[in-house]
């Protein structure tokens, strides 16, 4: 089983500074501002933490760059006319809703999203028979959760902050189809 992500170029930098300096070098940009301000995982915290709202400055910078973009975040985040994606849409045994905003590119239709009929395991606990995963915040059995999300290389922080790669793959396929349909052949 693969424990590391596929070969890729990794840049460790402030995302907004990197985007401002290098965003123009890319044909399309997929941004995921930190979601701590909007996540429901903080709802039970005894103190409401004042996390920065990174969505407006990210959107403004993306609009200034002028390249097609996708911005991802959690339900409740102020994304504009987003589509919703859930793990059940891809036959993953988990509920993990994420919103996707599209800029300078046609928004695809969301995949079919059936009614949630199976209960979700309480956040932080491995599902019992008949339950689906609810992978958020701190949870037990990180390795199994990483397999469920399709990210066997990820640690707990990676799982907590990530979206399943199948979401991005689906988005990428839709965007490529949209861009290809605009090319005059």
Amino acid 42: pLDDT: 59
Instruction: Please give the Cα distance from 147 to 126 (Å, whole number).
Output: 13
Amino acid 99: pLDDT: 96
Per-domain residue ranges of the chain: 15-182
The model's pLDDT over 86-125, given as tens digits with 9 standing for 90+, comes to 999 999 999 999 999 999 999 999 999 989 999 999 877 8
The whole-number average pLDDT for the span 159-170 is 92
Question: 181 vs 117, which has greater pLDDT?
Answer: 117
Amino acid 126: pLDDT: 86
Neighbour-count burial for 99-116, b at 16+ CB within 10 Å, e otherwise: bbbbbebebbeeeeeeee
Q: Is the pLDDT of residue 2 over 60?
A: no
Instruction: Please give the Cα distance from 171 to 173 (Å, whole number).
Output: 5
Amino acid 184: pLDDT: 59
Q: Is the pLDDT of residue 4 over 70?
A: no
């Amino acid at each position: 089983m693969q424990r590391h992500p596929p070969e890729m170029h990794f840049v460790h930098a402030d995302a907004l500074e990197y985007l401002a300096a290098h965003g123009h070098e890319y044909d399309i940009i997929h941004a995921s501002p930190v979601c701590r301000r909007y996540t429901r995982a903080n709802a039970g915290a005894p103190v409401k933490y004042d996390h920065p709202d990174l969505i407006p400055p990210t959107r403004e910078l993306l609009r200034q760059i002028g390249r097609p973009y996708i911005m991802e975040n959690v339900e409740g985040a102020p994304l504009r006319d987003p589509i919703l994606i859930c793990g059940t849409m891809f036959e993953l045994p988990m509920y993990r809703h994420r919103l996707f905003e599209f800029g300078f590119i046609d928004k695809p239709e969301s995949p079919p999203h059936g009614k949630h009929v199976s209960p979700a395991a309480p956040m932080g606990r491995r599902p019992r028979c008949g339950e689906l995963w609810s992978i958020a915040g701190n949870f037990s059995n990180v390795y199994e959760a990483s397999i469920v999300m399709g990210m066997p290389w990820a640690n707990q922080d990676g799982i907590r902050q990530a979206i399943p790669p199948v979401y991005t793959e689906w988005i990428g396929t839709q965007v490529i189809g949209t861009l290809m349909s605009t090319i005059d052949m």
